[in-house]
Structure formats: structure tokens, C-alpha cells
């Protein structure tokens, strides 16, 4: 059980039915109620269950504090079988919790003999509802990154001598003031503040004045018009790194991100916590995280794209792993130092391939999928891969040989035969690539070129966003694009 109410998790299949019943049986009887809409990860992720239901509730009122009290009183007037007493250790017996923009209650789940916490997120007009939905539908890490971009927008525009243009995007003129100006974004609105700054640039307490605010989401989109806010976090971070120019902007983004994105006690040990930690690490090493524009193969890229990884079939994993191993072997034989470095990383941190981390290389994640279940792939995919796993010592032995440039002709024959037979490779082009790799050092130029084409052909279609292919394509395969 979780949250202030002590609710149970709810299956995706039951979220809408439970929400519909709550709206029809409870909210519809509250006179100022106008509409309700589910927000948050239910709309933007493929998760199968949720810790609570986030519901944006539009109420007709000019006074949020007062209308929240009225709603809370109304909710607690409902029968105990409808608005249930809390079962959490901290608030046992309580029937509502009013905090900030939210009123939390415990409501019976449709389809199960248990209850779920519903967070009523209050909005007083349609613009506020749309604003909150757009903000809350974004993952926490994207929220944190966008808030940092808003925070640094003025200093970035000033550095580029485009401050009037920035303000014009949202229909404003630059205020005539000597005070420091700063935009801020929250889950409630976008605002412009002015304050006096000390010698270190910090806000002097008591000097802040809010000059303007807007709960129209389009103003946030227009203010950050240089960015596509719908991009996945990793791609947006890549854009942030390449566009922020002011000396302090990246540090300010990091500071705000770390204050907003944190791992809660109830999340420790979960996939959600791992994802948060990965994104925290990415932002904190912003200058180093180059997303493979350099010819250095280090951290993975493809598995940050969950829509890609969750759609990988067993055959996809088999073929991508086989092609990537052949590619590393071929580059190692051509004495490519980056490929050898990449290969060493495959077995140096987790030699048994049983630890899963999104910060590891894409090929490591593929290899580990044969040995341990990963939240980055569907469970069915892992179940099909498990019988095809080579002994970890065998995989490690030949990866070490590739990294050291110590693969003999017989080693290549043994290793790639085992890959082909144990993985039960079915794709004709991948099988042909494995066969050519077995005798690579005896191939003539035309046969080697054929092998390169086979690898390029498969990876370009199925693994184009993988780290290994993104870099190798720049170094070796550009001519195949022409």
C-alpha cells in the first residue's frame, strides 16, 4: 500500500472504469464540478499498474482555497463505503487530505475488492486544466529539465542579444527595471519574477515581485520555442547540451533538476527509482554525456527509448546481438581501439551479465537479456531468450579475446558457430554474416565488403539508434548511405 491514503496499486484495465464511477457517483453531485480528466503516467507510459490515479478536476470558482475546503467537506459527507477511511500508518481513519493543489481520497476499485488513492488536482478554468495536464503528462525527468530551461531562458537570450524577441514570443515587452528578471515554471503556471540580487547573483530575501503569470500552456511552449518539448528526455537533453551557452546555465539546470527529481523511500529498488537515478546521472554529467557524436563508444542510447526497446521481439534481440558481436570482432581485427574499449566494458563491470542498468552500453543490455529479466524488455521476450543463453564464462572468454585482439581463426569458427547454433539464428542475412565472420581473416576484399554490407543492412534497419551503430556508421559506413 502507498500514498497518504494507503491505497493499493490499480491495474491499467481498471483505471478508467474506477475513474468513471468516481465521477458519476461522487463528483457529479458537487455543484461547482465541471469536468475531470486522468493525467500523468497513465497517459504517457505503457505501465501495467499504478500507485494512484491523478485526476485533474475542473471546478467553477474564483477562490481555490475556499472551493477546496468546500469539496473536502462534500467528499467527507459521502458514505464511508464510498469515500473510504485511510489505511496508511500516518493517517489511519482520515477520509481526505488537502495539500497544495490536491485533495486525496481513498476510493473502491472497480474490478477488485480493494481501494485506490485518487488525487483530485484542482483547476479553476479550462486553461488551467490544459496546463496541468500537459505538465503532469510529462515524466518527472522531463518536467525537471524543462523547468531548468525556463529558469535560464532570460540569461541565454541576453547572451545572444535576443531578449526582446524572447519576451515577444509570449506577447510581452522587456520590463524597464534594474532588478534581475527570471521566468519560472511550476505545475500551476509560468511566471515572470523580478528581484534584487546580491554580489553572488543570489536573490535578496524579501525583494521578489511577480510581474506576470500565465496558466496557458502555449505560453510555455512559445517561450521555449527553440526546443521540441515532446521529444524523449534523452533527445531533449542532447539539445539542451548543444544549445546552452551562458557559463552558468548548465549548472543552474543541474541544480534545479536535482531539487525536483528525487527517489522517494517507497520507490527504492524499483524500475522507477533506477530510471530516476539514470536521468540524474545524465544531467549531472551533462558535459560528458555526448550521445555518441564523438567516436568513443561508452554509454548506451537505444534503451533510453522505451518505445523501441519494449517492441523488441526475441528474434530482434538475437539478431542485433549477433550482428553487434560480429561487428566488434571485425573492428577488433582491424585494430580499432574504440571497438576494443567497448568490448572490454561488456565484461569488466558485470562479468556474469546479470546486472541491468540503463547506463550500460546497448550491446551489454542485449547480452544481459539472455541472463536476467530486464524492465527494458517485455517479460515474454526474456522467457524466450533464456534457453538460448550461452554460459557466461564462454561469452566472457571470447569477448576478452576480441578486446585483446587475440582471436585465432579457430576461435572465430568456434565462437560464431556457437552463436549461430545456440541462438538459433533464423534471419538469412545474419546467418550469412556469422558464416563470413568465422573465416574473416581468410576473406578477400570483396567478401569483406559483402560482410560489411550485411551488417550495415541489418543494423541500419533494426538497430539504427544503437550506440555501436551510431558511432561505427560515422566512421565506416557513411558511404553505404549514398
What string of DSSP letters covers 231-286?
S-HHHHHHHHHHH--STTHHHHHHHHHHHH----GGGTTSHHHHHHHHHHHHHHTT
- Tell me, yes or no, whether 295 lies in a domain: no
Residue 166 lies in a domain: yes
**Residue where a domain terminates, one of 214, 248, 282:** 282
Do 91 and 158 fall within a single domain? no
Q: Please give the pLDDT value at position 301.
A: 62
Across 143-177, b (16+ Cβ under 10 Å) vs e yields: bbbbbbbbbbbbbbbeeeeebeebbebbebeeeee
Please check whether residues 188 and 73 belong to one and the same domain. no
Residue burial 16-27, b: 16+ Cβ < 10 Å; e: rest: eebbeebbeebb
The DSSP bridge pattern shows strands 180-185 and 10-11 to be unpaired
- And the C-alpha cell for 461? 534497419
Query: Is there a single domain that holds both residue 200 and residue 184?
Result: yes
Specify whether 80 is located in the same domain as 213: no
Counted domains in the chain = 3
Helix (H) or strand (E) holding 71: helix 64-76
Measured in residues, the chain has a length of 482
Same domain, 338 and 476: yes
Q: Is residue 287 part of a domain?
A: no
Task: Please calculate the CA angle 250-253-257 and round it to the nearest 5 degrees.
Answer: 140
C-alpha pair distances (Å), 457 with each of 431, 433, 474: 13, 11, 15
SS3 state at 477 = helix
**Pair 264, 337 in one domain:** no
Q: Are residues 36 and 96 in the same domain?
A: yes
Same domain for 80 and 168:
no
Domain boundary among 136, 170, 204: 136
Last residue of a domain, one of 252, 282, 312: 282
The pLDDT value recorded for residue 295 is 34
Query: Is 4 inside a domain boundary?
Result: no
Q: What is the pLDDT along the chain (482 residues), one digit of tens a residue?
A: 568 999 999 999 999 999 999 999 999 999 999 999 999 888 877 778 888 999 999 999 999 999 999 999 999 999 999 999 999 989 999 999 999 899 999 999 998 899 999 999 999 999 999 999 999 999 889 999 999 999 999 999 998 889 999 999 999 999 999 999 999 999 999 999 999 988 777 889 999 999 999 999 999 999 999 999 988 888 888 888 888 888 888 888 988 888 888 877 667 777 777 778 778 878 877 654 333 233 334 445 677 676 777 788 999 999 999 999 999 999 888 888 888 888 888 888 788 888 876 667 889 889 999 998 877 787 788 889 999 999 999 999 999 999 998 999 999 999 999 999 999 999 999 999 999 999 999 998 888 889 988 998 888 888 877 877 766 665 666 555 54
Give the sign of the dihedral formed by CA 101, CA 107, CA 111, CA 112: positive
How many angstroms separate the CA atoms of 22 and 10, rounded?
14
The answer on 459 and 312 residing in a single domain is: yes
Query: Does one domain contain both 228 and 374?
Result: no
Q: What is the pLDDT of residue 147?
A: 95
Is 353 inside a domain boundary?
A: yes
d(CA 250, CA 268) in angstroms, rounded, equals 28
Going by their DSSP bridges, the two strands 190-195 and 102-108 should be labelled as unpaired
Q: Are residues 209 and 267 in the same domain?
A: yes
For residue 171, the model assigns a pLDDT of: 95
In a domain, 3, yes or no: no
Which residues span the domain enclosing 227? Answer: 141-282
Would 5 be classed as within a structural domain? no
pTM of the model: 0.58
Which set of grid coordinates corresponds to residue 43? 497517459
Q: Are 367 and 351 in contact (CB under 8 A)?
A: no
309 and 431 together in one domain: yes
**Alpha carbon distance 282, 284 (integer Å):** 6
Q: Is residue 238 part of a domain?
A: yes
Amino acid at each position: 500500500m502507498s500514498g497518504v491514503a494507503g491505497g493499493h496499486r490499480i491495474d491499467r484495465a481498471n483505471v478508467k472504469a474506477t475513474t468513471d464511477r468516481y465521477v458519476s457517483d461522487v463528483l457529479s453531485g458537487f455543484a461547482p464540478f465541471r469536468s475531470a480528466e486522468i493525467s500523468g503516467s497513465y497517459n504517457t507510459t505503457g505501465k501495467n499498474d499504478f500507485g494512484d490515479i491523478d485526476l485533474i478536476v475542473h471546478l467553477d470558482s474564483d477562490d481555490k482555497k475556499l472551493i477546496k475546503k468546500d469539496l473536502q467537506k462534500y467528499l467527507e459527507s459521502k458514505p464511508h463505503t464510498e469515500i473510504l477511511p485511510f489505511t496508511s500508518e500516518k493517517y489511519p481513519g482520515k477520509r481526505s487530505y488537502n495539500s497544495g493543489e490536491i485533495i486525496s481520497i481513498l476510493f473502491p476499485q472497480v474490478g477488485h475488492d480493494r481501494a485506490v488513492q485518487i488525487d483530485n488536482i484542482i483547476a479553476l478554468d479550462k486553461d488551467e486544466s490544459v496546463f496541468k495536464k500537459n505538465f503532469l503528462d510529462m515524466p518527472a525527468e522531463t518536467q525537471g529539465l524543462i523547468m531548468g530551461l525556463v529558469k535560464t531562458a532570460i540569461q541565454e537570450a541576453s547572451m545572444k542579444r535576443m531578449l526582446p524577441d524572447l519576451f515577444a514570443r509570449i506577447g510581452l515587452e522587456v520590463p524597464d527595471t534594474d532588478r534581475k528578471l527570471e521566468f519560472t515554471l511550476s505545475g500551476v503556471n509560468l511566471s515572470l519574477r523580478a528581484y534584487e540580487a546580491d554580489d553572488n547573483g543570489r536573490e535578496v530575501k524579501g525583494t521578489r515581485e511577480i510581474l506576470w503569470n500565465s496558466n496557458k500552456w502555449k505560453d510555455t511552449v512559445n517561450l521555449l520555442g527553440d526546443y521540441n518539448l515532446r521529444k524523449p528526455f534523452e533527445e531533449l537533453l542532447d539539445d539542451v547540451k548543444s544549445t546552452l551557452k551562458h557559463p552558468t546555465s548548465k549548472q543552474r539546470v543541474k541544480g534545479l533538476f536535482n531539487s525536483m527529481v528525487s527517489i522517494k523511500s517507497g520507490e527504492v529498488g524499483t524500475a522507477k527509482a533506477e530510471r530516476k537515478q539514470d536521468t540524474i546521472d545524465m544531467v549531472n554529467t551533462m558535459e560528458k554525456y555526448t550521445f555518441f557524436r564523438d567516436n568513443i563508444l561508452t554509454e548506451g542510447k537505444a534503451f533510453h527509448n522505451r518505445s523501441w526497446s519494449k517492441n523488441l521481439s526475441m528474434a530482434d534481440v538475437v539478431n542485433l546481438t549477433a550482428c553487434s558481436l560480429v561487428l566488434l570482432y571485425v573492428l577488433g581485427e582491424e585494430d580499432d581501439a574504440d571497438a576494443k574499449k567497448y568490448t572490454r566494458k561488456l565484461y569488466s563491470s558485470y562479468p556474469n551479465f546479470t546486472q541491468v542498468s540503463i547506463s550500460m552500453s546497448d550491446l551489454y543490455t542485449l547480452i544481459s537479456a539472455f541472463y536476467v529479466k530486464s524492465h527494458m524488455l517485455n517479460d515474454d521476450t526474456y522467457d524466450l531468450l533464456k534457453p538460448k543463453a550461452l554460459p557466461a564464462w564462454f561469452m566472457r572468454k571470447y569477448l576478452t579475446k576480441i578486446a585483446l585482439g587475440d582471436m585465432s581463426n579457430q576461435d572465430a569458427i568456434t565462437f560464431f558457430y556457437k552463436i549461430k547454433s545456440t541462438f538459433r539464428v533464423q534471419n538469412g542475412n545474419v546467418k550469412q554474416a556469422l558464416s563470413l565472420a568465422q573465416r574473416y581473416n581468410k576473406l578477400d576484399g570483396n567478401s569483406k565488403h559483402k560482410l560489411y554490407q550485411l551488417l550495415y543492412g541489418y543494423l541500419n534497419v533494426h538497430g539504427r539508434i544503437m550506440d555501436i551503430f551510431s558511432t561505427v556508421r560515422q566512421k565506416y559506413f557513411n558511404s553505404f548511405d549514398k
